[in-house]
Amino acid sequence: QKEVEQDPGPLSVPEGAIVSLNCTYSNSAFQYFMWYRQYSRKGPELLMYTYSSGNKEDGRFTAQVDKSSKYISLFIRDSQPSDSATYLCAMSEGAGGTSYGKLTFGQGTILTVHP
């Protein structure tokens, strides 16, 4: 079983829809949670970065972390065709030892927003 599970989709929504992307994880040591967006032939681009449980909002994007359920979400409001990409969740542990520089990723969800 993978440490981080993410539904690969694909997910297809109309322009203007609210998109919900989710990941579950099994490692209770994870403390830092990230969402990346990856366009074809490009590297992952950092969208959201959160520490521990709670919500964080940035423009049309909202990230939620529920550590008690080991569940994180990314919501995209008023989705646009330019949001079409692969969305990757990533997690890391706290300071020390095997956590330095190591992100554990979900498989990625392919999102298409059609006009």
Partner 1 sequence: KAGVTQTPRYLIKTRGQQVTLSCSPISGHRSVSWYQQTPGQGLQFLFEYFSETQRNKGNFPGRFSGRQFSNSRSEMNVSTLELGDSALYLCASSLEGLQPQHFGDGTRLSIL
| Residue type (1 letter), 65 | V
Nearer to partner 1, 30 or 79 (CB): 30
Instruction: Give the interface segment with partner 1, choosing from 14-22, 62-70, 73-81, 98-106 (CB under 8 A).
Output: 98-106
CB of 115 to partner 1, least distance (A): 27
By the rule CB under 8 A, 115 interacts with partner 1: no
Q: What would the DSSP string read from start to end of 40-75?
A: TTS--EEEEEEESSEEEEETTEEEEEETTTTEEEEE
By the rule CB under 8 A, 105 interacts with partner 1: yes
By the rule CB under 8 A, 32 interacts with partner 1: yes
Task: Give 80's contacts (C-beta < 8 A, 6+ positions apart).
Answer: 15, 113
Could you list the residues that contact partner 1 (CB under 8 A)?
32, 34, 36, 41-46, 49, 88, 90, 92, 94-95, 97-108
